[in-house]
Amino acid sequence: MKRKQKLKIGVDILLTVALLLLMSFEMVGDAAHEWIGMGMFILFIIHHILNRKWTGNIGKGKYSLFRSVQTALVILILLCMAGSMVSGVILSRHVFRFLDIRGLSGLARTIHMISAYWGFTLMSLHLGLHWGVMTGIAGKMYGKPSAARRLAAQLSGFVIAGYGFYAFIKRDLLSYMFLRMHFVFFDFTEPLIFFLLDYATVMGFFVFAGHYLRKGMIRAKSRENRGK
């Protein structure tokens, strides 16, 4: 595997870990949350630098359904990241404390929450759209999986996605995404690992959805081509 490909995978793994930790902000503490957020922003920039060829081709060529969905997701993720960062700077009590921005905390808190939860969902979907690439790389590294391994992986994916959907409902993420609640509630008696595992499976559910969404679009395109 080329060095650049390894770097891309490493950055994407760190982004995923940072995203999960950021969702537990009250449980890891304000200062840690802000520094993790700064780290994620830097990783996000590096991610786009490493993928600048794709970005440079946005205005070129024809747009298939998959490319349109992928581009729309990237734009929405950029908006969520911008909303998270700007509101985070306004709310900062540690990293950007020296700015001492006042009077906008109420609006900033609302923007921060909605950007965080939509960003979490959209980034997970984005990862799912590219899951086939990740499994392809794993296949090259570890060899073609046996039928039993492939079946076990598929069953594991269904189990994780199923529990992830349950956790999505249990954690009431829709209320935060659509501002039915304006404050996030945490159970501080709950071990952090259980919280992170729930959110990891929620991410798994959206990765699963994104992966099969891509498969559906590929099949639809294939049928369309056969019909011509």
3-state secondary structure 179-199: CCCCCCCCCCCCCHHHHHHHH
Mean pLDDT, residues 60-87 taken together: 93
Q: Say yes or no to pLDDT of 188 above 90.
A: no
pLDDT tens digits, one per residue of 90-105 = 999 899 988 878 778 8
Q: Say yes or no to pLDDT of 116 above 90.
A: yes
Percent of the chain with pLDDT over 70: 93
- Provide the pLDDT for residue 137: 62
Split into its structural domains, the chain has a count of 1
Q: What is the mean pLDDT of the chain?
A: 89
Higher pLDDT, 180 or 5: 180
- Provide the pLDDT for residue 165: 97
- Provide the pLDDT for residue 140: 64
Question: d(Cα 162, Cα 172) in Å, to the nearest integer?
Answer: 16
Please give the helix or strand (H or E) that residue 213 lies within, else none.
Answer: helix 192-227
Mean pLDDT, residues 28-57 taken together: 92
- Domain of 213, in residue numbers: 64-227
| Nearest alpha-carbon partner for 54 in 32, 70, 37 | 70
Residue 40: pLDDT band with limits 50, 70, 90: very high
Question: d(Cα 100, Cα 34) in Å, to the nearest integer?
Answer: 15
End-to-end CA distance of the chain: 38
Q: Say yes or no to pLDDT of 155 above 90.
A: yes
- Provide the pLDDT for residue 184: 87
pLDDT tens digits, one per residue of 1-37 = 678 788 888 999 999 999 999 999 888 999 999 999 9
Residue 151: pLDDT band with limits 50, 70, 90: confident
Handedness of CA 57, 61, 64, 68 (dihedral sign): positive
Mean pLDDT, residues 179-185 taken together: 88
Q: 84: how many CB neighbours lie within 10 A of its CB? A: 23
Exposed/middle/buried for residue 87 (C-beta within 10 Å: 0-12, 13-18, 19+): buried
Residue 100 lies in a domain: yes
Percent of the chain with pLDDT over 90: 60
- Provide the pLDDT for residue 197: 96
Residue 227: pLDDT band with limits 50, 70, 90: low
Q: What is the value of pTM for the model shown?
A: 0.89
- Provide the pLDDT for residue 5: 81
| Nearest alpha-carbon partner for 183 in 133, 124, 110, 79 | 110
| Nearest alpha-carbon partner for 214 in 60, 73, 31 | 73
Provide the residue type at 42 as one letter: I
Q: Say yes or no to pLDDT of 83 above 80.
A: yes
Residue 207 lies in a domain: yes
- Provide the pLDDT for residue 88: 94
CA distance readout (Å), 177 to 144, 151, 155: 40, 34, 29
Question: d(Cα 213, Cα 70) in Å, to the nearest integer?
Answer: 11
Token pair recorded at residue 221: 């395109």
